Chains A and B, each alone.
Chain A
Amino acid sequence: MKIGLEIHVQLPTKSKLFCPCPTTDAPAPNTHVCPVCLGFPGARPMMNRKAIEYGILLAKMLGCTIRDTTWFARKIYFYPDNAKNFQITQYDRPLGEKGMYYLNGKKPIRITRIHIEEDPGKIKRVGDLSSLVDYNRSGVPLAEIVTEPDLSTPAEAREFLGQLIRDIRHTIDIPDDGERSIRCDCNISVGIERCEVKNVTGLKNVERALTYELVRQTKLLKAGGKVVRETRRFDEERGVTISVRKKEMEADYGYIDEPDLGIFNVKELTERLKIGESPQNMILRLSKEYGIDEKTAKQFVSTSVELAHLFEELAAATDTETARTWTSGAVSAGWKSFEARGGGDAAEVVSLIGKFKAGEITDTECNIRIRAFLTGTDVDEVRSGSADLDSIISEYLDVNPSVIEDYRKNERAANRVIGHVMKRTGGACSSAEIVDATKRLIEERL
């Protein structure tokens, strides 16, 4: 089985691709519109350069070749949500070509191309006989990433998409607004001919749609039937794909270059724009470089790339084991609160752990002070709260010494303690704090 994906990602620009209309949620249908994105006669596109910058960052992240010049094209098809009855996209000269993405850092997935295009409007069906069109989305910038058919199972496709999206979010700083903002066209072939399932939203639905197609095509072939090349649609509620139309060949769209935008020289921009390490690569590097397991590395990076950076600073200042223990423990426990307050310089944490290593403060004291720093709370307040928390846990462990024995066999035994303490404290402490304190106190008794 071969699976290739075409992934559409909305780029986080403030205004649309070719006009100044905002890309934010609109108060009502057809309010974030103007003559340009409504395709009114005489209006023409103006390039939003920020979209090209985002496109270049993504092309770099995917290891694509970025040529010095790029330009746009008109793709002509008649549809009510397509304001001009042509879409401005890229054809002959996409922003990036011939890239590579390593799934789990290992399996190469070839990236055919990445290009920028405008999103069409949205059609809302009203009853059986009519539809309404909302052009608020018309002209929102999209990046389309096309892979070669290098994915071999629906689960793998989902995994790939998950990793890719996390990397994309990190590279161009898209807020995590759920899976819905990712739309995907899935090409799948069990035999020779392939089908395309258009416009599937979200990771889970991609896997469901592909699995349905896998079963459908396999059955069809086994029964001696033939798969026809066609476009299908995924019905989320019923979990089935439905034939929409015979697949047009790309060339049928009669592309011509967009004459109103001209040619963009992106050489300097490409040289100037730098991308950091992608989260997926960071997980693999941390695990390899520091000898920590991938799960821990993933936990750090998923919490925040900044947390992972702090882990590296700690490892440099002390040693890997100290860095790992403290990062998983007290630092992770307070990190969300730290970032919620704006994040920033966490050098204080490195210095506190340094003091603990040098024997200047106890680990309990170090723990309290880290917590106080990260949560922005007074040290004494944390100390008394922590003492209360510690004493509740200790009391429970004193009464139930079997927990310690169970914990030796399975760390999940700690959950009993945690559940009890949660009830007792009734929301006064964060769950991260409770987990951290429980593990610390159990481990003291091991």
Chain B
Amino acid sequence: MIETSILSSLSKINEKYQMFRTITSDTEAGDAEFLFSAKDNLTSKDMETCSGSKILEGYRPPFDATSIARMRGAGGLLVGKTNMDEFGFGTFSTNSAFGVPRNPYDPERSCGGSSGGAACAAAVMDGHVAIGVSTGGSICCPASFCGVYGIVPTYGRVSRYGLLDYGNSLDKIGIISAKASDLGKYVNIMAGADPRDPTSCMQPDMGARRKLKSVAVPKDATEGVSEDVRMAFTDGLETLESLGVDVDTVEMPSLKYAIPAYYVIATSEASTNLARYCGMRYGHQKGDLSLKFDDYFTSFRSQYFGQEAKRRILLGTFTRMVGFRDRYYSKARMVRQSIIGEYRSVLRECDAVLTPTMPFVSPKFSDISKMTPLESYKADILTGPPNIAGMPHASVPCGYDRNGMPIGMQLVADQWDEGVLFSAAEEWEKTFESVRPEVSI
């Protein structure tokens, strides 16, 4: 039997942390073997799916995302859809149309984003497994801010059928949990070819688990990161060395181009993906039908898209336009290729590339509101590179700052080599003592 008492207190928990957009009305787990949640950009037949956007309010998809269907098939009960930045556009989950999830270590701080609700649920609820989605850092960032484990498998490992697209060539579905062994367990359940997502059909079998023996640390990995993060990361490195892991320093000069290239590719693709939301066919449809169709679309999109969604549509539309396409979109894709090349050559020599996950601990909401868009984009500096390269990566908790806010470090492995990340996280969990947040309901 699984612990189901949590089901009856879900709405109370949610009142406090706002990690869910929708919660199940089930109070009994029936014959379910585990409870899980899914980020609100994954379609679910029995629950509204909004992707954090007003424009989809009330939308009940006619089908389950493959990842959700496979979790259900393995005995999982979907307990809710987790809150997120609108369409994944953000680093702090402050861009949701449906409230902002609160960090379990300090409710005045962010859970990270865009899978903020997922990391919060994993940190607060015992034995909870959260499906997250990462485009440019949206799993590792919140995992790090909420002091839990997060894994992003190789691009194409988990079918994206039923995922509301942000950037199709970047989106990856993964797992966030307080328990390291959940990473391998549940990625294995969701992974595997699915004809309804052709990009999932090229994958080799999941590689064997193997012990982490060596890591490479890029020379400028801690450049620009906060003192607290630098110290926790250095401690982490020492612990690894004491466990017999070789640590090497390497030059990876192209990683610094990941962020600009990422934002060009992601917004170009996003601006086409979001074209379909126009108040027709699904979601919100209560517009002024006396308008001409293009005026109707415009009024609808102006009214229901959030500020950040509009910003990214504009950015992406600009980078796709003739005259700019080669300068931005085509060039960004070349940058992606050289980053992949750089990772692969480093990973021929060692098992993983190691960096801190985020350059700082979770900021206070009052500080976030003062950030310019560019400043918040820059927070993805360390999570951007593996995401644009489509490499599997994981964030593990590695320390706490003086206020007790969690800090994470990020391991990046070679394509399809999730096995080394699964066992590295499990080994790490044996030596690293997590400090669970105090949850009172």
**In contact, A249 and B322 (Cβ under 8 angstroms):** yes
User: Are B62 and A84 within 8 A (Cβ)?
Assistant: no
Complex Cα–Cα for A39 and B282 (A): 10
Per the bound structure, the CA–CA distance linking A259 and B269 in Å amounts to 8
Which B residues lie within 8 Å of A39 (CB)?
A: 276, 281
Q: With A252-B322, A254-B321, A255-B320 as given contacts, are A41 and B56 in contact (CB-CB < 8 Å)?
A: yes
- In the complex, the answer to whether B197 meets A42 with C-beta atoms within 8 Å is no
Q: Are A42 and B164 in contact (CB under 8 A)?
A: yes
Bound-state CA distance A79–B293 (Å) is 8
Is A256 within 8 A of B269, CB to CB?
yes
Q: Is B12 positioned at the interface, with any CB of A under 8 Å from its CB? A: no
Whole-angstrom distance between the Cβ of A395 and the nearest chain B Cβ: 71
A44 touches B (CB below 8 Å) = yes
B33-87 residues with Cβ-Cβ distance < 8 A to A are: 42-43, 49, 51, 56, 59, 61-63, 65
A38 contacts B by Cβ under 8 Å: yes
Asked if B24 is at the interface of the complex by the 8 Å CB criterion, the answer is no
A-B contact pairs, 25 of them (CB 8 A): A35-B62, A35-B63, A40-B61, A40-B281, A41-B56, A41-B164, A42-B49, A42-B65, A43-B161, A45-B198, A46-B195, A74-B272, A80-B293, A83-B281, A84-B276, A86-B272, A86-B276, A130-B289, A252-B321, A254-B271, A255-B325, A256-B268, A259-B167, A260-B199, A262-B198
B92 interface hit (Cβ, 8 Å) = no
Contact A44 B197 (CB under 8 A): yes
Q: A252: nearest residue on chain B (CB-CB)?
A: B322
List A contacts of B272 (CB < 8 A).
74, 76, 86, 254, 256
Cα–Cα distance between A18 and B200 once the two chains are bound (Å): 16
What would 8 more interface pairs be, CB under 8 Å, given A39-B276, A41-B282, A260-B168? A35-B63, A41-B43, A42-B165, A43-B161, A43-B196, A44-B160, A86-B276, A251-B322
Q: Does A201 reach chain B (CB closer than 8 Å)?
A: no
Q: Which of B220-269 contact A (CB under 8 A)?
A: 268-269
B399-425 vs A, Cβ < 8 Å mask (1 yes, 0 no): 000000000000000000000000000
- A262 to B271 alpha-carbon distance, docked (Å): 19
Is the CB of A109 closer than 8 A to any CB of chain B?
no
Q: Which of B160, B195, B196, B276 is in CB contact (< 8 Å) with A85? A: B276
Interface of A: prevailing SS: loop
A46 near B297 with CB under 8 A, answer: no
Is residue B203 contacting chain A, with contact meaning CB distance below 8 A?
no
Closest 9 CB pairs of A and B: A251-B322, A85-B275, A254-B320, A259-B168, A259-B169, A42-B162, A42-B43, A41-B164, A84-B276
| Measured CA separation A397–B168 after assembly (Å) | 80
Contacts of B317 in A (CB 8 A): 254
Are A85 and B278 also in contact (CB < 8 A) when A44-B197, A80-B293 are? Answer: yes
Check A42–B163 contact: CB distance below 8 A: yes
Expressed in whole angstroms, the Cα–Cα distance for A221 and B272 within the complex equals 41
Nearest chain B CB to A254 CB, angstrom units: 4
**Please, how many angstroms separate the alpha-carbon atoms of A44 and B65 in the complex?**
11
- Give chain B's interface secondary structure class: loop
CA distance A224 to B165 in the complex (A): 53
> Is A78 an interface residue, CB under 8 A from the partner?
yes
Complex interface: chain B residues within 8 A of A129 (CB):
290
CA distance A329 to B91 in the complex (A): 81
Q: Tell whether B375 is near chain A: CB-to-CB under 8 Å.
A: no
Chain B residues numbered 184-232 whose CB sits less than 8 Å from any CB in chain A: 195-199
- What separation, in Å, do the CA atoms of A74 and B269 have in the docked complex? 10
The B-contacting residues of A in range 184-208, CB under 8 angstroms, are none
Residues of chain B with a CB closer than 8 A to A372's CB: none
Interface assignment of B280: CB less than 8 Å from any CB of chain A: yes
Q: Could you tell me if A86 and B275 are in contact, using CB atoms closer than 8 angstroms?
A: yes
Assess whether A1 is interfacial by the CB under 8 Å rule: no
Shortest CB-to-CB span from B317 to chain A, Å, is 6
Cα–Cα distance between A213 and B414 once the two chains are bound (Å): 61
Which chain A residues have a beta carbon within 8 Å of chain B's beta carbons?
35, 38-47, 74, 76, 78-80, 83-86, 129-130, 249, 251-252, 254-256, 259-262
Give the tally of cross-chain contacts (CB within 8 A).
104
> Given the complex of chains A and B, what is the CA–CA distance between A255 and B325 in angstroms?
9
**Is B31 at the interface (CB under 8 A from chain A)?**
no
A residues near B164, Cβ cutoff 8 Å: 41-42
Residues of B within 8 A of A85 (CB): 275-276, 278
Taking the complex as formed, is B329 at the interface, i.e. its CB lies under 8 A from any CB of chain A?
A: yes
Partner of B294, one of A45, A74, A78: A78
Most B Cβ at <10 Å: residue of A83, A129, A254: A254
User: What's the Cα separation between A13 and B329 when bound, in Å?
Assistant: 34
Q: Please measure, in the bound complex, the distance between the C-alpha atom of A350 and the C-alpha atom of B41, giving whole angstroms.
A: 69
Given A42-B61, A42-B65, A254-B321, A78-B278 contact (CB < 8 Å): yes
Query: Could you say which residues of chain A place their CB within 8 Å of the CB of B62?
Result: 35, 40
CB-defined contacts of A251 to chain B, threshold 8 Å: 321-322
**Given contacts A42-B43, A46-B195, A260-B198, is CB(A78)–CB(B275) below 8 Å?**
yes
Which residues from 417 to 438 on chain B have a C-beta closer than 8 Å to any C-beta of chain A?
Answer: none
B131 CB to closest chain A CB (Å) equals 14
A41 touches B61 (CB 8 A): yes
Within residues 143 to 194 of chain B, which ones have a CB less than 8 A from any CB in chain A? Answer: 160-165, 167-169
- What separation, in Å, do the CA atoms of A254 and B328 have in the docked complex? 13
* B186 CB to nearest A CB, Å: 20
Known: A78-B275, A256-B269. A42 touches B280 (CB 8 A): no
- A83 CA to B278 CA, complexed, in Å: 10
**Is the Cβ of B276 less than 8 Å from the Cβ of A41?**
yes
Chain B's closest residue to A130 (CB) is: B289
Please, how many angstroms separate the alpha-carbon atoms of A45 and B293 in the complex? Answer: 26
Contacts of B290 in A (CB 8 A): 129
Cα A260 to Cα B295 in complex, Å, equals 30
Which residues in A have their C-beta under 8 angstroms from that of B165? 41-42, 44
Given contacts A78-B297, A262-B199, contact A44 B161 (CB under 8 A): yes
**How far, in Å, is A137 (CB) from chain B's closest CB?**
16
Residues of B close to A45: CB separation below 8 A: 198
Residues of chain B with a CB closer than 8 A to A84's CB: 275-276
- From B163, which residue of chain A is reached at the shortest CB distance? A42
Query: Residues of B contacting A38 with CB < 8 Å?
Result: 281
Evaluate contact between B281 and A44: CB separation under 8 angstroms.
no
Shortest distance from the beta carbon of B58 to any chain A beta carbon, whole Å: 13
Most chain A beta carbons < 10 A, residue from B199, B276, B277, B294: B276
Alpha-carbon distance A249/B168, docked complex (angstroms): 26
Instruction: Please give, as numbers and ranges, the residues of chain B lying within 8 Å of A260 by CB-CB distance.
Output: 168, 197-199
A256/B320 contact (C-beta < 8 A), A76-B272, A85-B275 known: yes
**Closest chain B CB from A299 CB (angstroms):** 48
List of B residues within 8 angstroms of A41 by Cβ? 43, 49, 51, 56, 59, 61, 164-165, 276-277, 282
Closest to B171 in A: A259
Q: Which chain B residue shows the least CB distance to A254?
A: B320
User: Which chain A residue shows the least CB distance to B318?
Assistant: A254
Contacts of A252 in B (CB 8 A): 321-322
Closest to B333 in A: A257
Look across to chain B and name the residue whose beta carbon is closest to the beta carbon of A36.
B196
CB-defined contacts of A249 to chain B, threshold 8 Å: 322
User: Which of B56, B196, B289 has the most chain A CB atoms inside 10 A of its CB?
Assistant: B196
**Of A35, A130, A261, which one neighbours B198 at CB under 8 angstroms?**
A261
* Alpha-carbon separation in the docked complex, A39 to B273 (Å): 10
Contacts of B329 in A (CB 8 A): 256
Interface residues of B in 317-350 (CB under 8 A from A): 317, 320-322, 325, 329
Q: How far is the CB of A83 from chain B (nearest CB, A)?
A: 7
Residues on A with C-beta less than 8 A from B271 are: 76, 254
Point out the residues of chain A lying under 8 angstroms from B277, CB to CB: 41
A80–B292 alpha-carbon span in the complex (Å): 11
CB distance from A90 to the nearest CB of B (A): 16
B197 to chain A: closest CB distance in Å?
A: 6
- B residues in contact with A256, CB < 8 Å: 268-269, 272, 320, 329
Q: Report the bound CA distance from A85 to B276 in whole Å.
A: 5
